[in-house]
Structure 1
């Protein structure tokens, strides 16, 4: 039985060494610059949020955080790059609600939205805006719905891409209002706004941060925001529910994650740093002003549960709306 006691002692020693090694790794982390990837075009909400949170975390962690955009496929290109990166804490990702939607809209993915990542924390929740050009005949969401019912399939709406929250917000409007407005994907908010102003599409679903200046200048009219309550960034734009579409509620979110397998001590360190940064009044105001939303941090476990809940919700929308998967 002596060999069993020796084996047990060796196991305890190995566990102690691993614990000390992990703690030492966390103590030395980070020792070089960190990359923060996101999957949308420069200038949009994800890019703006990435740069604000990178600024706060960089000061907190004492290392530069380099924001890198990999737009396309509703954020899937960036998510794939994050999932395949080394799990050492030096590649992080900022994802939005589209991260969970991808599981509902794609037949297969090269990664699993929940299982291929270690979650860090949610950051902010915010609404979207349904908008038209200012000279468009529809002066309200009710007008737009009436036009769509009169000629089903004759209208189109632009979004930041297939499988984005913007896309599903439009499809949910179709399903709940009993209309058929055809989706047209673009590579980012800026391209969809350009398409709207150029007359390529009559309607877009976009983010308040990008549309607010155009709405305030009079070039674009905001018909409705997708949350149950109005957004502080566009207080004069009514909600979809105010237009009579009861129960309609689409709020996207942003959060931080990392490739699966980074040391738990680094996950804990990043979560702690993120929550401290979100608690800073100045940075909190910058984030909320940028998207007209609400800052809300979380534990890694809470973020993972959110993604699972969102996958279930949007899978139901895709099924009800009979959206073909790609």
Structure 2
């Protein structure tokens, strides 16, 4: 065999080896999840909020289904976009999931200079759950219903403050929707997560929040804050005596917030399909659905195409609120 022939043979063998290694690596990915790897669920908000509660429920059940560790990490900041960008930048292996929200997927129009594009850099694999919000007030606020709240805010503009989990969060956007529909000039005070805002509401440092049910039900039942309305079409089973916003006289103030399970858009379609199928399998178990209901949430678990259509429709809805309410984070 000539020197050139031997060299050609060697290069051919090397190429075959590399192709074999590549196929082996793909086979490893296709066998997702690998029990030797740790799966992380990123919560882009502080611990203790609704997204955190859902993520920990999901981590527990996915860990059992996959028979491997699934851990929750909180990465709050920038209305959730610190965590959102972190997930978008992770390796395309499917081992980093995220519990997303309205702020991340539908209300990011308030930011004009985000360092990433949530629509193209993240992929929603399913909508996890949806829930109405609860309008909660400090006991000292001299208003016991929504009409009294609106009258108070209009009588003394700038004196009623509402806290949120951050600019663009669902908690913030619900407040902006109320302002738009009622004309009440309430003032937004953003926090680094709902927990800090709730602490100030309990301490009468702010007067109002438009919060997710899981984080306020205990405080309402203990008499530490009062519930003025819920934002859904129907009353909340966990708060049967609290009227809907429509029943309370605020027409058009009807919306639910929702959470998603999302991954980096770079994750291969086969792995995305696997994650979507397994997450939906977990959400649809009676135990998980009951756990959500006890927290005032309703399971969704829709398919990949349906989830992406839903998010696109919600983006149009919240873009209108942002435009008409002149809401901006810049």
- TM beyond 0.5: yes
The C-alpha deviation readout for 1:287-308, integer Å capped at 9, x for no partner, is 2222x02101112222222222
1:165 alignment partner in structure 2: 170
2:101 alignment partner in structure 1: 96
What is the TM-score normalised by the length of structure 2?
0.89
Retained in 2: the 8 A contact 1:95–1:254? yes
Within a 5 Å distance, the mapping from 1:251-270 to structure 2 comes to 251-270=256-275
- Alpha-carbon distance in structure 1 between the residues aligned to 2:207 and 2:25: 58
Retained in 2: the 8 A contact 1:228–1:249? yes
- Alpha-carbon distance in structure 2 between the residues aligned to 1:18 and 1:316: 47
- Alpha-carbon distance in structure 1 between the residues aligned to 2:28 and 2:45: 35
Give the one of 106, 109, 117 matched to 1:112.
Answer: 117
2:299 alignment partner in structure 1: 295
1:38 alignment partner in structure 2: 43
Retained in 1: the 8 A contact 2:167–2:329? no
Structure 2: 5+ residue stretches without partners: 1-20
Give the one of 71, 79, 83 matched to 2:76.
Answer: 71
Give the one of 135, 145, 154 matched to 1:149.
Answer: 154
Verify: 1:311 aligned to 2:315, yes or no. yes
Give the one of 268, 276, 289 matched to 2:281.
Answer: 276
Q: Size of the alignment, in residue pairs?
A: 312
1:135 Cα deviation from its structure 2 partner: 3.1
1:22 Cα deviation from its structure 2 partner: 4.6
Give the one of 311, 326, 329 matched to 1:322.
Answer: 326
The C-alpha deviation readout for 1:82-109, integer Å capped at 9, x for no partner, is 0111110111111012112442211121
1:28 Cα deviation from its structure 2 partner: 4.8
- Alpha-carbon distance in structure 1 between the residues aligned to 2:302 and 2:100: 14
Retained in 2: the 8 A contact 1:106–1:325? yes
The C-alpha deviation readout for 1:26-64, integer Å capped at 9, x for no partner, is 225223111110111111101100000111111111211
Verify: 1:80 aligned to 2:85, yes or no. yes
- Alpha-carbon distance in structure 1 between the residues aligned to 2:98 and 2:32: 21
| CA pair 201-59 structure 1, distance change in 2 beyond 3 A | same
1:20 Cα deviation from its structure 2 partner: 9.0
Within a 5 Å distance, the mapping from 1:148-227 to structure 2 comes to 148-227=153-232
3-state DSSP class of the match of 1:240?
coil
Please identify the structure whose Cα radius of gyration is greater: 2
- Of stretches 225-234 and 161-170 in structure 1, the one that deviates more from structure 2 is 225-234
- Alpha-carbon distance in structure 1 between the residues aligned to 2:176 and 2:236: 21
Retained in 2: the 8 A contact 1:54–1:66? yes
| CA pair 23-288 structure 1, distance change in 2 beyond 3 A | farther
- Alpha-carbon distance in structure 1 between the residues aligned to 2:182 and 2:298: 27
Retained in 1: the 8 A contact 2:125–2:307? yes
3-state DSSP class of the match of 1:163?
coil
Retained in 1: the 8 A contact 2:107–2:318? no
1:324 Cα deviation from its structure 2 partner: 2.9
1:159 Cα deviation from its structure 2 partner: 1.0
Retained in 2: the 8 A contact 1:208–1:234? no
Structure 1: 5+ residue stretches without partners: 1-16
- Alpha-carbon distance in structure 2 between the residues aligned to 1:184 and 1:229: 28
RMSD across aligned positions (CA): 2.1
